[in-house]
């Protein structure tokens, strides 16, 4: 197969009717186009272009090749345009934890669709860390320290851990002593070592706490809103509950890591994904 650059140069000559027109179309020099055509003629073993008066014309072999290239490049262009159209119409696929989806992203999405009513999103709540390329995800929203191989990670929002509870449990107060918190019935998430370490930092003994454990943060948050006990959670996921008074903040860790990060596969993003990322960072 001859070099694609030589075939493309000859196709431009045939389409434009000369070397100068082809050079302008390809944004190269007249000499570069002529050299590519001479290279192609040498590889094919036939003349493709001949002088005709003050201009040039295609030989019979050149005309045959020009027709074949026109069909071939036309098929390529059709395929590329179809792929671009399909990519533009495909929803932006986002993997994220169920709690971040329900507590942080969903309350804000109305504002995104006001700005971009034509962009479809496909949310995939999952506690697992997915492989973005293998699972066909455009964007991931992850909790951690931002150090994951094979992706580009950018800080999105702090994930400062905090303790909160429904106001009914405080009897008009704003704080509780360590002894009072130790005696309460807690609403905690299963298999979350950071939660246990945070409780210890408050002076509590996690092993001696009366606790109800939930498999996901969204369930423990729902129970906390009903006044069933205090909760340990990322402050970012309780912003709306605290601002509306459904929960009262008792303690804030004020640490920078772990945090929430946006992760993307290396390389360019589709325009729809870029628009969502721009809005996402502005919202955060």
Q: For residue 173, name the pLDDT band (cuts at 50, 70, 90).
A: confident
Tokens 């493309």 — which residue?
8
Those residues with Cβ within 8 angstroms of residue 230's Cβ, 6 or more apart along the chain or in another chain = 163, 164, 165, 169, 181, 184, 186, 187, 224, 250
Lowest-confidence segment of 82-86, 155-159, 197-201, 222-226 by average pLDDT? 82-86
Question: Following DSSP, what letter does each residue of the chain receive, concatenated?
Answer: ---HHHHHHHHHHHHHTSHHHHHHHHTS-HHHHHHHHHHHHHHHTS--EEEETTEEEE-HHHHHHHHHHHHHHHHHHHHHHHHHHHHHHSPEEEEE-HHHIIIIIGGGHHHHHHH-TT--EEEEE-SS---TTTTT-SEEEEEESS--TTSEEEEEEE--EEEEE-GGGTTT-S---HHHHHTSEEEEETT-HHHHHHHHHTT--GGGSEEEEESSHHHHHHHHHTTS--EEEEGGGSHHHHHHTSSEEEEE-----SEEEEEE-SS---HHHHHHHHHHHHH-
Q: Closest Cα partner for 215 from 206, 223, 207?
A: 223
- Residue 49 β-bridge partners: 58
Give the mean pLDDT of the chain: 90
Q: Which residues pair with 158 in a beta bridge?
A: 259
Q: Are 156 and 180 within 8 A, CB to CB?
A: no
pLDDT, position 86: 63
Q: How confident is the model at residue 81 (pLDDT cuts 50, 70, 90)?
A: confident
Instruction: Please check whether residue 104 is in contact with residue 157, taking contact to mean a CB–CB distance below 8 angstroms.
Output: yes
Position 84 scores a pLDDT of: 73
Q: What are the E-state strand segments in 134-208?
A: 139-144, 152-158, 161-165, 185-189
CA–CA distance, 155 with 261 (Å, rounded to integer): 5
Q: 203-254, pLDDT tens digit by residue?
A: 999 999 999 999 888 899 999 999 999 999 988 889 899 999 999 999 998 8
Question: Could you give the C-alpha distances from 245 to 46, 88, 241, in angstroms and in order?
Answer: 83, 42, 6
Pick the residue with more confidence: 13 or 98? 13
Segment 173-191 mean pLDDT: 92
Looking only at the bridges linking them, the beta strands covering 248-252 and 161-165 are: antiparallel
Closest CA to 232 of 282, 196, 266: 196
């Amino acid at each position: 197969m001859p070099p694609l650059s030589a075939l493309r140069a000859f196709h431009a000559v045939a389409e434009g009717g000369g070397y100068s027109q082809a050079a302008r179309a390809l944004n190269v020099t007249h000499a570069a186009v002529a050299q590519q055509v001479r290279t192609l003629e040498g590889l094919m073993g036939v003349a493709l272009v001949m002088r005709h008066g003050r201009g040039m014309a295609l030989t019979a072999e050149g005309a045959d090749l020009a027709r074949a290239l026109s069909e071939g490049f036309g098929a390529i262009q059709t395929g590329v345009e179809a792929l671009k159209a399909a990519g533009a119409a495909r929803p932006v696929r986002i993997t994220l934890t169920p709690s971040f989806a329900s507590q942080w992203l969903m309350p804000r999405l109305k504002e995104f669709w006001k700005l971009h009513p034509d962009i479809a999103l496909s949310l995939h709540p999952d506690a697992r860390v997915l492989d973005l390329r293998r699972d066909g995800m455009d964007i991931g929203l992850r909790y951690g320290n931002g150090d994951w191989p094979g992706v580009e990670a950018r800080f999105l929002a702090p994930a400062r851990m905090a303790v909160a509870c429904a106001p009914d449990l405080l009897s008009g107060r704003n704080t509780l002593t360590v002894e009072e918190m130790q005696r309460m019935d807690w609403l905690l998430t299963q298999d979350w070592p950071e939660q246990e370490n945070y409780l210890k930092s408050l002076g509590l003994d996690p092993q001696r706490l009366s606790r109800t454990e939930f498999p996901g943060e969204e369930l423990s948050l729902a129970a906390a809103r009903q006044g069933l006990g205090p909760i340990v959670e990322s402050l970012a996921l309780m912003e709306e509950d605290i601002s509306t008074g459904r929960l009262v903040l008792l303690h804030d860790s004020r640490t920078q890591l772990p945090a929430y990060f946006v992760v993307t596969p290396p390389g360019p993003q589709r325009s729809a994904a870029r628009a969502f990322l721009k809005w996402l960072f502005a919202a955060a």
